């Protein structure tokens, strides 16, 4: 199947394949990136993000019926980082003013300048605490596909 029209900057689309359905059951392929070798964005394991935190949490009230304030990011804190349609865990390894360095739990295919959403686990639920833009990162190279491919 060839996609004839895809509108930038980051089109999200469904693709019909001849794959075994067990590979994609349970939405296992959500957030995966498809493309010819050499045409895809870089794969990052660590991101430096220019971020902005919300003043107050959405949908969370404290005992005195006021919305809870969002605490600053702290070193070694675990966050849920959402880039496009993929959500991955990340550990904050450094914070300076409005820049945070985050080590991702899994490699992510993205581009510099992409927007991210940051969520924190509060009372056993992931809550949006802010957003940011990718400024830099640590790139890894994918393993070559020995068995053929596209």
Q: Which of 61, 60, 94, 90 is nearest to 75 (CA)?
A: 94
Separation in Å, CA 63 to CA 56, 67, 68, 120: 15, 9, 9, 20
User: Model's pTM, two decimal places?
Assistant: 0.79
State residue 2's pLDDT score: 62
Q: Which of 5-9, 20-24, 41-45 has the highest mean pLDDT?
A: 41-45
H or E stretch covering 95: strand 86-96
Q: What is the CATH number of domain 43-140?
A: 2.40.30.10
Token pair for 62: 């404290």
Q: What's the pLDDT score for residue 25?
A: 74
Domain ranges (residues) in the chain: 43-140
Q: What are the tens digits of pLDDT across the range 53-64?
A: 999 887 776 666
3-state DSSP assignment of residue 22: helix
């Amino acid at each position: 199947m060839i996609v004839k029209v895809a509108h930038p900057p980051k089109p999200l689309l469904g693709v019909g394949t001849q794959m075994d359905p067990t590979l994609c059951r349970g939405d296992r392929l959500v957030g995966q990136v498809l493309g010819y070798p050499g045409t895809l964005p870089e794969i990052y394991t660590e991101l430096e993000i220019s971020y902005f935190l919300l003043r107050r949490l959405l949908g969370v009230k404290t005992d005195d019926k006021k919305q809870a304030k969002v605490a600053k990011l702290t070193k070694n804190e675990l966050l849920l980082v959402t880039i496009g349609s993929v959500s991955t865990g990340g550990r904050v390894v450094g914070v300076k003013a409005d820049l945070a360095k985050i080590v991702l739990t899994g490699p992510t295919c993205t581009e510099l300048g992409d927007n991210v959403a940051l969520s924190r686990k509060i009372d056993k639920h992931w809550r949006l605490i802010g957003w940011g833009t990718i400024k830099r990162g640590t790139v890894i190279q994918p393993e070559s596909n020995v068995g053929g491919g596209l």
